[in-house]
Structure 1
Amino acid sequence: MVRDDLVELAIEYFKKVDAGDPSYLDLFSENVDFFFPKFGQAAGKDALVEFGNRIGSSLTSIWHDIDGFKITTAGNTVIVEGQEGGVMSDGTSWPDNNISMGRFCSVFEFTEKLIIRMYVYVDPDFPSRDLERITVLSGEINT
Structure 2
Amino acid sequence: MTDTGLPQSPRAIADAYFKRMDAGQDFLDLFADDAYVVFPKHAPARGIEEVRGLFGDIFVLFTSVVHEIAYFNHISQGDLLVVEGTTHGVLADGTKWRATEGLGGRFCNVFEIRDGKIHRLHIYLDPDYGDADTARYPWLSAA
TM range (shorter): 0.7 to 0.9
Aligned with 1:16 (options 14, 20, 24): 20
Distance 1:116 1:96 in 2: 28
Q: How many residues align?
A: 135
Distance 2:59 2:104 in 1: 20
Equivalent pair of 2:45/2:54 in contact (CA under 8 Å)? no
* Deviation of the 1:86 alpha carbon: 1.1
Query: In the alignment, what sits opposite 2:57?
Result: 54
Query: In the alignment, what sits opposite 2:127?
Result: 124
Residue pairs, 1:73-92, within 5 angstroms: 73-92=76-95
Equivalent pair of 2:36/2:51 in contact (CA under 8 Å)? no
The AA in structure 1 aligned to 2:80 is T
Query: In the alignment, what sits opposite 1:67?
Result: 70
- Percentage identity across aligned positions? 35
Q: Which runs of 5+ in 2 are unaligned?
A: 1-7
Q: Please give the root-mean-square deviation of Cα atoms over the aligned residues, in Å.
A: 1.9
The structure richer in helix per residue is 1
Q: Which runs of 5+ in 1 are unaligned?
A: none
Query: In the alignment, what sits opposite 2:32?
Result: 29
* Deviation of the 1:132 alpha carbon: 2.3
The two structures have a TM-score, normalised by structure 1, of: 0.86
Equivalent pair of 1:62/1:87 in contact (CA under 8 Å)? yes
CA offsets, 1:4-42, max 9 Å, x none?
Answer: 8111111111000000101x1000000101100001322
- Structure 2 CA distance for partners of 1:8 and 1:58, relative to 1, 3 Å: same
Equivalent pair of 1:100/1:128 in contact (CA under 8 Å)? yes
SS at the partner of 1:80?
strand
* Deviation of the 1:78 alpha carbon: 0.5
